[in-house]
Structure 1
């Protein structure tokens, strides 16, 4: 116990020093030091709390923020709000909020097994599984298999005397998530959508070609099929739930994908006893998450920042691009920025999985470390473009007015730095 107390104090001190010296928000270094002193620190800090985990390839940070807002109706909530989604970040988040009885933790999909075991969560929300950084991460079908194994073990946990069962909230529109989550003893199904379907043409259970009809999908070779959802979007502004729930939800965040993230957040919050009517106003207050969706005014330009890290994310970002302009004016220009540093994944071949045709009609500018890779892809897709060397060159090249920016992870952080760490 003394070691855990010392480790917790070191976590807070290291995180604070990191922020003071401008080296970062301290989420990683604090947890790394704390876990070095007490390897079981995450387990110790999670003990006695009501924990929710949020995992998936896309939408983790946003859904975590929305669920944190919803659970805020119950009191203080600990959360790794800056997206440090491995055990070091979880440890720091819990250490910095010692009095919070609830915690919402974004979890890297490859660490779900570890964090499940160490935090014994009340709820696990599963969003989607799609290809992402294959040069340094396992193939998505293998990851679904790992998830299925760990979620199946929740039944053994529930059988332990005195243990509170973990409930799973899962996206029934994603066949990989459905297959993985169906091994869990208790599942609440959410219709969160699946715009990107290129990773789920084949049944993960038997290998047959999945049949799709509208939102429904089913395997002709086995019993795997889309479950009936308990929560869904009744229309663009209304969430439907069990027992006849019809809850209007108005978000500041753009795009259908974020309305779907809100459905998942409301479903997970309900398992903690939070009424949708109480949670919805809290969700409406969320305007930006670590700079994502922020709009920044600079030199007469209104710049909106969108983060997209893989094909599924880019497809959703294109859906958010503003296509409405004053009468007679062209749609706003779009700046695409691509890097391929370690945290982005070094392989840029995934650019060919993305269809950029929806950007035709916009003035498209390209920058980032791997701008020429993207330029070749746009040429193949017959999307006219201009290459610029830096974000500041793009600003100088476009007239005053709106500018949509879509960037992958480190490119996004570079642009935020240029704009003074917007929001």
Structure 2
């Protein structure tokens, strides 16, 4: 065992201050399971409870009880942002959303102007419903557009078409303070010109935030078993560079690997993840990270909605894993997140958020710098241009 490994085995975590706290809520149902999706989502069966296909009342009660179980771990701490992800949370009724958000406000110290984001798919967007969501307190919406090309959308298994996506964006812009569009590139049979049209269409709406993801074939998905014909690596690289230039010319800054924003329009909730902040995670399959002065913990909940609700009702919690992150794993977990930010983080943040001295990663930092993967400024932990291109290689240097 090396001296560094011995140090990490015995190094005690000591946090001088707790990081910002956020709340993540998982909604596990979708109208249709997409063939590329590896998220914890379950297709609803129409004609079920209240014709919605899921028991909204029962799930909301489970979420509220789940939040209550976490309150002793976060007493006195303010919640700075809420993110309701899925799945398709916009399938909730406005009354259900209002009940949920009112229950949260009654139980946590929520920042007065907290960012509250809800994910939505164009096929589930209605003007009247979105106006009601805004009245409930939702002030940011993230729309899963993926593409404006009808043929590409059909291949991706989406339930909306390009015209419906455009209509959904127009509705969202009328009701919410901030709107993000999720788009994918490297789609089956996508040409450079196809990708350009998608980006230009997205830019035409002037939303303050855009996210671009390269389609990848994830394990345990339909596409993994029956892979479509995707563009070559060189074609995908060309599409990415084209996207980058188009977004830059339109005034968007790439602040994270897949995220682009106009000035001061970054997603606060996701910034908290990447800066190794804390978050309560409630709902089926939700993950959480909570820090204490002497330790940092992670939690995972039951994945299936029925199992999750039953566990909350019978046992009062749905945890399947709750553990303290070992000191030897903290450097990788921190750098895995922080290096995704194009501006990186200030160097002192490592010790502030992990409770470990910077010396435990000095060897990895030196190796990364030698390979040209790390920015040379000693005051920041930041990937170089080369490091962002080969981010996985850079992050792996901090494993154990």
Query: Shorter-chain TM-score: which interval?
Result: 0.3 to 0.5
Q: TM-score with structure 2 length normalisation?
A: 0.33
Q: TM-score with structure 1 length normalisation?
A: 0.32
Structure with the greater relative contact order (CA < 8 A, sep ≥ 6): 1 or 2?
2
